[in-house]
Structure 1
Amino acid sequence: MAEHRTKMLILGSGPAGLSAAIYGARAGMAPIVVQGIEPGGQLMTTTDVENYPGFADVIQGPWLMEQMQKQAEHCGAKMMWDSIVEVDLSQRPFRMVGDGGDEYFGDTLVIATGAQARWLGLESETLLRGKGLSACATCDGFFFRGKKIAVIGGGNTAVEEALYLTNHSDDVTLIHRRDELRAEKILQERLFANPKITVLWDKTVDKFVGEGDPLGLVAIDLKDTKTGEISQIAAEGGFIAIGHDPATKLFAGHLELDGDNYIKVEPGTTRTSVPGVFACGDVMDKIYRQAITAAGTGCMAALDAEKFIGENEFEQG
């Protein structure tokens, strides 16, 4: 068991955490990045990335994260293959414990643990992720231009994604398990007024159907929640829009969270309810959830942390 100390401890190694590491390292804070159970974040399971600035051609998500990590290491950040299981934010330096027993101490803490999209849990869904199935219309809608698209869900996210996808398709079907939506009324009005969207009520997904070589989504088997009847619709793109779960379980009782368990930050900053602790990326952003916005808030977190260190050192000096 080892002990690691740094001016800037970063939890999470997606675009937010690695951007914070790059800026923190360039500021001479010698950051330590604890990579977590999914090093590289959600982009490691994303194939084609076409909306990250700076690349004329489509790039691969894992390649982009590999380059970010190399850049952070080149600037002086240290990567740790570990996952935090215990936190103590009651005093500085903040103390974290890894699952192997290593202790990490940070004068500042940057939380970039992200959020995971909720999935239905079907075997066919796992098989077709990235092969016609997605959990992010903004990320992947462009790849389904002119194709038949289905959105599964009934809340704000599902309705917003269905509306967004009409920019790419004239044939969008919203599938909901109940006979009324949970989304805000203004969103429902926009949905029902859009001639490109069809709503299927009282339906759940029984199976996603894939065919071809390479394998791709071609249809969705639906089960009627009232009669049990099975029906099928054609679909080349499917978007699961049933919400996200931020990775904040560790911080419950230590930091102020909102009603959806995202870390609350001071508007316009990455400052949390505990001075010296900063949050960036999807763990505090439930609206945009893009790689580029995560990277931007990662930069903000590093600058906020650097400023915090400078102010405290001045007061102590």
Structure 2
Amino acid sequence: MTQNYDVIIIGAGPGGLTAALYASRANLSVLLLDRGLYGGQMNNTDAIDNYPGFSEIKGPELGEKMYNSIMKFGAKFEYGDVQQVSLEGNYKVVTTDTGEYRAPALIIATGADHRHLNIPGEDEYAGKGVSYCAVCDAAFFKNEDIAVIGGGDSAIEEGIYLAQNAKSVTVIHRRDQLRAQPTLQKRAFANEKMNFIWNAETESIDGDGNRVTSVTYKDKETGITKKLTTRGVFIYVGVIPQTAPLKDIGIVNEQGWIPTDEHMKTKVAGIFAVGDVRAKDLRQIANAVGDGSIAGQEAYNYLQALND
């Protein structure tokens, strides 16, 4: 049986949670859907020190605080893996593995996943030296030797950012030249703190059980396996937007991201997008929260216009 709401929000990370807060405070019936625990990627973050109001807070704790703050306004949370989103007049129909839901307003907050290397130690040391975000975690590696894996724009941009406070940054790349744009390459090669290991296949991330101690890689030219001593490993081998169920409604660009205007509106009236799934540069908790507040209010405005 299809359940009806005023607003459906897909994704319960910081953007989705904030959108639910603003929409439910406006006395709208709100359904918040996620395939996992509310909080999103915050649940995989050991410590957050760049969110206003907290000098440092554990990711799961911040997710819990956000979730508790919205529940008192009547939003409903359901687990569900979204299979498809379709349009039915002014209604948006969301089909999950557990049921079907309809609402005139839909907010997409599905986020993006960092592409993983899928090597030993990567998951084990996530949050203990393995990171996918220099802006988030650079402060934890001040005066440390750091490794960056990748050779594209993101890897080199983040490597340059890390080099501001790190003792050294070593870029490990599987090719013999970078793929980053020339201006970034020039800045990286000119930075005395940055080193480069070419033609290297990363095989494992090693540690002492508590945190990262080294990276094992194979020299593709010689076949020799080597180790690089490091306290942090930042991985930049691609980011994947989580938009597969949305491919049939015309809001996703060629790269899989969702373009929006400053009001978080997509190409389809009544559908909004927030957070990491948007086509944008900076993906942080703080600006996901900002996106969510705008989308929650804009969903209310949209529903008011429908009823006029």
Q: Which bracket does the TM-score occupy, shorter chain normalised? A: over 0.9
* Partner residue in 2 for 1:3: 2
* Partner residue in 2 for 1:76: 74
Distance 2:123 2:72 in 1: 36
Is structure 2 residue 211 aligned with structure 1 residue 216? Answer: yes
**What is the 5 A alignment of 1:171-250?**
171-211=168-208, 215-250=210-245
* Partner residue in 1 for 2:64: 66
Tell me the CA shift for residue 286 of structure 1: 4.3
Tell me the CA shift for residue 254 of structure 1: 1.3
CA contact under 8 A between 1:148 and 1:172: conserved in structure 2?
Answer: yes
Is structure 2 residue 140 aligned with structure 1 residue 143? Answer: yes
Tell me the CA shift for residue 311 of structure 1: 1.7
* Partner residue in 2 for 1:254: 249
The number of residues matched between the two structures is: 308
* Partner residue in 2 for 1:24: 23
Instruction: Tell me the secondary structure at the aligned position of residue 263 of structure 1.
Output: coil
Tell me the CA shift for residue 131 of structure 1: 1.1
Moved over 4 A (4+): none
Query: What TM-score does the superposition give when structure 1 sets the normalisation length?
Result: 0.94
Tell me the CA shift for residue 38 of structure 1: 4.9
CA contact under 8 A between 2:206 and 2:215: conserved in structure 1?
Answer: yes
* Partner residue in 2 for 1:281: 275
**In the TM superposition, what whole-angstrom CA distance separates every residue of 1:87-109 from its partner, at most 9, and x where no partner exists?**
11242211111202x21111100
Tell me the CA shift for residue 36 of structure 1: 2.3
Aligned pair partner of 2:284 in 290, 294, 302: 290
Distance 1:296 1:144, change over 3 A: same
Indicate the larger mover: 303-312 or 170-179.
Answer: 303-312
CA contact under 8 A between 2:211 and 2:231: conserved in structure 1?
Answer: yes
CA contact under 8 A between 1:119 and 1:242: conserved in structure 2?
Answer: yes
Distance 1:223 1:14 in 2: 37
* Partner residue in 2 for 1:129: 126
- State the one-letter code of the partner of 1:126: D
Tell me the CA shift for residue 196 of structure 1: 0.9
**In the TM superposition, what whole-angstrom CA distance separates every residue of 1:99-158 from its partner, at most 9, and x where no partner exists?**
02x211111000001111111001221111111111111111110111000000011100
CA contact under 8 A between 1:150 and 1:238: conserved in structure 2?
Answer: yes
CA contact under 8 A between 2:219 and 2:225: conserved in structure 1?
Answer: yes
CA contact under 8 A between 1:5 and 1:106: conserved in structure 2?
Answer: yes
CA contact under 8 A between 2:214 and 2:229: conserved in structure 1?
Answer: yes
Distance 2:195 2:177 in 1: 14
Distance 1:165 1:91 in 2: 49
Instruction: Tell me the secondary structure at the aligned position of residue 72 of structure 2.
Output: helix
Aligned pair partner of 1:117 in 114, 118, 135: 114
Tell me the CA shift for residue 22 of structure 1: 0.4
Distance 1:76 1:311 in 2: 23
* Partner residue in 2 for 1:308: 302
**In the TM superposition, what whole-angstrom CA distance separates every residue of 1:31-63 from its partner, at most 9, and x where no partner exists?**
11012245321001111111111113x211011
* Partner residue in 2 for 1:169: 166
Query: What TM-score does the superposition give when structure 2 sets the normalisation length?
Result: 0.96
CA contact under 8 A between 2:84 and 2:246: conserved in structure 1?
Answer: no
Gaps spanning 5+ residues in structure 1: where? none
Distance 2:37 2:67 in 1: 14
Distance 1:90 1:55 in 2: 43
Q: CA RMSD in A?
A: 1.3
Distance 1:227 1:259 in 2: 39
Tell me the CA shift for residue 30 of structure 1: 2.0
CA contact under 8 A between 1:255 and 1:263: conserved in structure 2?
Answer: no
**In the TM superposition, what whole-angstrom CA distance separates every residue of 1:207-252 from its partner, at most 9, and x where no partner exists?**
111015xx11111111112221111111001100112111000111
Instruction: Tell me the secondary structure at the aligned position of residue 267 of structure 2.
Output: coil
Distance 1:286 1:151, change over 3 A: farther
* Partner residue in 1 for 2:95: 97
Distance 1:35 1:3 in 2: 17
Distance 1:38 1:285 in 2: 25
- State the one-letter code of the partner of 2:306: N
